Amino acid sequence: QVQVVESGGGSVQPGGSLRLSCSASGSIFRIDPMGWYRQAPGKQRELVATITSGGKTTYSDSVKGRFTIARDNAKNTVSLQMSLQMNSLRPEDTATYYCRARQTDGVVYWGQGTQVTVSS
């Protein structure tokens, strides 16, 4: 079992920045990759960014160049830490952001989500 918890959401004006954090605990040794997804009202959940244990990253076209995903690969046997630095935020980035941890056997765990609102 893996427990996933996000933090760091909030409200910001267009052009502003926010940093989201995710902590995964439990059976963390089989987690790879980790990622961020988001879901806006009335829309499907979509990929934002992913990162592997080796540091390989992928981004959706809508956030490329503005968002940066990072993973703490320190030898912490208790939890895995991941972040999403979001710059130059736009109103269309408004959504609930979810942290996803995928085990190597394909089992997926989700956090409860954190709200990001970009509005003037």
Give tens-digit pLDDT for 50-73.
999 889 999 999 999 999 999 986
Collapse the DSSP code of 32 into the 3-class scheme (helix H, G, I; strand E, B; otherwise coil) and give the result.
strand
- In the structure, what pLDDT confidence band is assigned to residue 41 with cuts at 50, 70 and 90? very high
Give the C-alpha separation, 18 to 26, whole Å: 27
Question: For residues 114 and 76, which has the higher predicted lDDT (pLDDT)?
Answer: 114
Number of separate helices (H) and strands (E) present in the chain: 0, 11
Q: Given a cut of 90, is residue 77 above it in pLDDT? A: no
What confidence score (pLDDT) does residue 53 get? 87
What confidence score (pLDDT) does residue 75 get? 60
Residue-wise burial string across 71-100, b where 16 or more C-beta atoms lie within 10 A, e elsewhere: beeeeeeeebebbbebeebeeebbbbbbbb
- In the structure, what pLDDT confidence band is assigned to residue 74 with cuts at 50, 70 and 90? low
